[in-house]
């Protein structure tokens, strides 16, 4: 069995926030490879989060993030199952990190399930027509359209975005970040809603509405 140093365990904990024994077991399974150990923890977290998915989340926190200078702000509500978990530092830190994610990446929806079906159908039609007009072989058009749609959703949907604080060759998606936290805390966690405010954006929207009227 590979001998795992306390320094390796510490490094993995700093990156993932997982418990000491979980990190040690993941590193042993990955033969001391930090990146592989992250994947081990990630897959275990995803499996655990799926078990929690059907439960009700009626507690949680509302957090506000105001960017330096007061020109940009976010309000976000994140739910969990119990008031006990909602009061933990880990949950509060997750909620604040998600508020920062919204501020930086400006998603429109929480998840792809929230995107209107007619919008997706229209985007699919546009991308299909574009691919055919470019002379792409019919056999690969479906794959091209699916790839374009996934890329669009990774920009529009909070859960699909890459987590802005992750570094390395394979950043986690926000949904994976939430699922890992759910596995560690033992409760279902979900983003209920968010709003992003930037000084001047409302005036620009109103001007656009006037021009189109």
Query: Do 88 and 179 fall within a single domain?
Result: yes
Query: Do 162 and 181 fall within a single domain?
Result: yes
Query: Do 54 and 74 fall within a single domain?
Result: yes
For residue 204, being part of any structural domain is answered with yes
Query: Do 121 and 89 fall within a single domain?
Result: no
- pLDDT of 55 > 70? The answer is yes
For residue 171, being part of any structural domain is answered with yes
For residue 175, being part of any structural domain is answered with yes
Query: Do 75 and 137 fall within a single domain?
Result: no
For residue 167, being part of any structural domain is answered with yes
**The CA-based dihedral angle spanning residues 76, 79, 83, 88, taken in that order and rounded to the nearest 10 degrees:** -70
Query: Do 121 and 59 fall within a single domain?
Result: no
Cross-strand partners of 85: none
- pLDDT of 1 > 60? The answer is no
- pLDDT of 47 > 60? The answer is no
Query: Do 176 and 76 fall within a single domain?
Result: yes
For residue 141, being part of any structural domain is answered with yes
pLDDT of residue 102: 97
Query: Do 34 and 85 fall within a single domain?
Result: yes
- Better pLDDT: 155 or 26: 155
Average pLDDT for 141-163: 93
pLDDT of residue 191: 97
CATH number at residue 134: 1.10.286
pLDDT of residue 46: 59
As to burial, measured by CB atoms within 10 angstroms (0-12 exposed, 13-18 middle, 19+ buried), residue 60 is buried
Report how many domains make up the chain.
Answer: 2
Query: Do 174 and 206 fall within a single domain?
Result: yes
For residue 1, being part of any structural domain is answered with no
Query: Do 133 and 32 fall within a single domain?
Result: no
For residue 198, being part of any structural domain is answered with yes
CATH number at residue 184: 3.30.479.20
pLDDT of residue 213: 57
Question: Which range marks the domain in which residue 142 is found?
Answer: 116-154
For residue 85, being part of any structural domain is answered with yes
Query: Do 142 and 165 fall within a single domain?
Result: no
- Among the residue ranges 39-43, 70-74, 120-124, 158-162, the one predicted with the least confidence is 39-43
- Report the C-alpha gap between 120 and 148 in whole angstroms: 11
- Report the C-alpha gap between 10 and 164 in whole angstroms: 22
Query: Do 77 and 35 fall within a single domain?
Result: yes
């Amino acid at each position: 069995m590979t001998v795992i140093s306390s320094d390796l365990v510490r490094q993995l904990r700093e990156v993932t926030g997982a418990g000491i024994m979980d990190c040690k077991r993941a590193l042993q399974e990955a033969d001391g490879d930090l990146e592989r150990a992250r994947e081990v923890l990630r897959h275990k977290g995803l499996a655990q989060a799926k078990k929690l998915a059907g439960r009700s989340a009626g507690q949680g926190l509302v957090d506000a993030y105001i960017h330096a200078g007061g020109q940009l702000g976010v309000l976000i509500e994140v739910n969990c199952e119990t008031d006990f978990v909602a009061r933990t530092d880990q949950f509060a830190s997750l909620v604040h990190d998600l508020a920062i994610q919204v501020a930086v990446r400006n998603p429109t929806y929480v998840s792809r399930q929230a995107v209107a079906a007619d919008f997706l159908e229209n985007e699919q039609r546009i991308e299909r027509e574009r691919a055919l007009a470019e002379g792409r072989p019919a056999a690969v058009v479906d794959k091209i359209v699916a790839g374009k749609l996934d890329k669009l959703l990774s920009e529009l949907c909070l859960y699909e975005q890459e987590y802005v604080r992750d570094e390395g060759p394979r950043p986690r998606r926000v949904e994976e970040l939430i699922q890992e936290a759910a596995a560690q805390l033992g409760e279902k966690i979900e983003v209920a809603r968010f709003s992003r405010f930037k000084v001047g954006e409302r005036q620009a929207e109103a001007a656009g509405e006037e021009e189109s009227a």
